[in-house]
Amino acid sequence: MSDLKKVSEFVYEIEKKGEMKVPARLYADDKLITKMKEDLTMKQAENVACLSGIEGYSFVMPDGHQGYGFPIGGVAAMELENGIISPGGVGYDINCGVRLLKSNLVHDDVLDKRKEIIDSIFKNVPSGLGSQGKIRLSRNDLDEVLMVGAKWAVEEDYGWKEDLKFIESEGSMEGDPTKVSNNAKKRGMPQLGSLGSGNHFLEMQVIDKIYDEKTSEVFGLREGQICFMIHTGSRGCGHQICSDYIQTMEGAHKRYNLKIPDRELVCAPINSKEGEDYFKAMSAAANFAWANRQMITHWVRESISKIFREDSEDLGLDILYDVAHNIAKFEKHNGKKYCVHRKGATRAFWKGRNELPKDYQDFGQPVIVPGDMGTASYVMCGVKSSSQTFGSTCHGSGRVLSRSAATKRYRGEDIIKKLEKENIYVKAASPKVVAEEAPDVYKDIHNVVDVCNNAGLAKKVAKLRPIGVAKG
């Protein structure tokens, strides 16, 4: 693309042109930008820059790749007065997110038990395509989940009260069940407390490198420590809410005379009935996801506690943090309120932000960046310079191969054997999903994280490597 300019070592820009209201800014190095050129990432970034009320730039994080409407890794802050809200700027898996549990265990404690631990977690946490949870909800229960999120799960004894303060937004936004269709509720009701499939996973990991001693000490992380990572979202409930409101917005954007360069960017004014209804329904799906991860946390704790014959509290199975990916939130930046869309991007707030738990106020928000099966994951920390992206950074490594292309190139059984040779035990619902999520179908996570670190979007704190994986 001739109009793509390199403005610094890790920043590229597409200048404002045509209907674009702001420039597009992509965070990448030469290797990552080459990958972005291979699909529609840049075109989608341009398209987002055309949306009403967008402020600053249309951003793409280093893990960016083509998505629905917005690129995955896309960030856009909208002014409240004349800005829009778009389901394509949030995505189908609303509040797909990551939670990291710490422990007092070290590598030697689990070395001979890793298969037993992963098998137990796999048995206790329902996973796989169409997987259903172990509990049966009434319609009233589900409405409560959609209203209050993780708080419902804790009140039902799926976790500890102190868990809530280590969840983004304390695990709850102002969801309104009346804005959620019966179809979305029907899909969600049997799935609460389940992992699902695709790139969702549960991993047992060991910290093998600390980059920032001071911050890692505050976060309670140390070399050799065992952690457990949970990656899942709002399941069929969130997917249906997105589908429902895409249909609603198709009529709305015409009624409000909103120009969009791509029908996948259907939207409505933030202050319109359609915009407000979508935000309340999206918040309800976010609550479902937080309750879902909370229940899974409970069953992970139960599994580990049973194997080691110790209480979860004594094992130190505390939440480091829980971050949301696909979400829109009202936030104040530079004294002004915006609706910030983060599609496949993570909030990365810096020290002093009052949204953070008191434990992290003087350091910044933990940012959890998951890898996949054979690759590393990272804990990072929000820094003040991320204010340039409205406090946003990457959410993972980003795919380079579609699932169908991956299954043509890889056999799940071969991947499982290869990982076992690397001392990574994989327990999966099917070999097909292992092939779809083979480590090589993703960008190099070290590359992505280094760009985030060097571009000032978040700083590296610790690197974790997987030793056991439960895959949906």
In the predicted structure, residue 382 carries a pLDDT above the cut 60: yes
Asked whether the beta carbons of 46 and 20 are under 8 A apart, the reply is yes
Residue among 65, 231, 341, 395 flagged as catalytic = 395
H or E element in which residue 56 lies: strand 54-65
Separation CA 462–CA 144 (nearest Å) = 37
**Pairing state of beta strands 72-79 and 226-232?**
unpaired
51 in a domain, yes or no?
A: yes
In the predicted structure, residue 109 carries a pLDDT above the cut 90: yes
Separation CA 53–CA 41 (nearest Å) = 21
Report the chain's mean pLDDT, rounded to a whole number.
Answer: 95
The residue segments making up the domain with residue 165 are 4-84+94-471
Mean pLDDT across 9-16? 97
358 in a domain, yes or no?
A: yes
CATH number at residue 12: 3.90.1860.10
For residues 439 and 169, which has the higher predicted lDDT (pLDDT)? Answer: 169
Mean pLDDT across 92-115? 97
Mean pLDDT across 55-84? 97
Q: Is 309 helix (H, G, I), strand (E, B) or coil?
A: coil
In the predicted structure, residue 234 carries a pLDDT above the cut 80: yes
Q: How confident is the model at residue 429 (pLDDT cuts 50, 70, 90)?
A: confident
**What is the structure's pLDDT at 3?**
86
**What is the structure's pLDDT at 368?**
98
Write the pLDDT tens digit of every residue in 128-140. 667 777 788 899 9
**Residue located via tokens 């480091």:** 320
In the predicted structure, residue 1 carries a pLDDT above the cut 60: no
151 in a domain, yes or no?
A: yes
Least confident of 207-221, 325-339, 356-370, 437-451: 437-451
**What is the structure's pLDDT at 128?**
63
**What is the structure's pLDDT at 320?**
98
**What is the structure's pLDDT at 403?**
86
322 in a domain, yes or no?
A: yes
Q: 395 catalytic, yes or no?
A: yes
Total domains in the fold of the chain = 1
23 in a domain, yes or no?
A: yes
Q: Is 14 helix (H, G, I), strand (E, B) or coil?
A: strand
In the predicted structure, residue 428 carries a pLDDT above the cut 70: yes
Residue 257: which residues within 8 A CB-CB, separation 6 or more? none
**What is the structure's pLDDT at 343?**
98
69 in a domain, yes or no?
A: yes
- Extract the tokens encoding 90: 């949030």
CA angle 398, 243, 128 (to 5 degrees): 55
Mean pLDDT across 172-185? 98
Strand partners, 203: 229, 469
**What is the structure's pLDDT at 379?**
98
**Residue 298 CA to chain centroid, in angstroms?**
20
Asked whether the beta carbons of 8 and 28 are under 8 A apart, the reply is no
121 in a domain, yes or no?
A: yes
**What is the structure's pLDDT at 41?**
97
Burial class (CB in 10 A: 0-12, 13-18, 19+), 6: middle
Q: Is 368 helix (H, G, I), strand (E, B) or coil?
A: strand
- Extract the tokens encoding 96: 């797909």
Asked whether the beta carbons of 416 and 431 are under 8 A apart, the reply is yes
89 in a domain, yes or no?
A: no
**What is the structure's pLDDT at 401?**
84
**What is the structure's pLDDT at 441?**
87
Q: How confident is the model at residue 108 (pLDDT cuts 50, 70, 90)?
A: very high
Distances (CA, A) of 144 to 148, 264, 284: 6, 31, 10
In the predicted structure, residue 2 carries a pLDDT above the cut 70: no
Separation CA 255–CA 268 (nearest Å) = 9
**What is the structure's pLDDT at 198?**
77
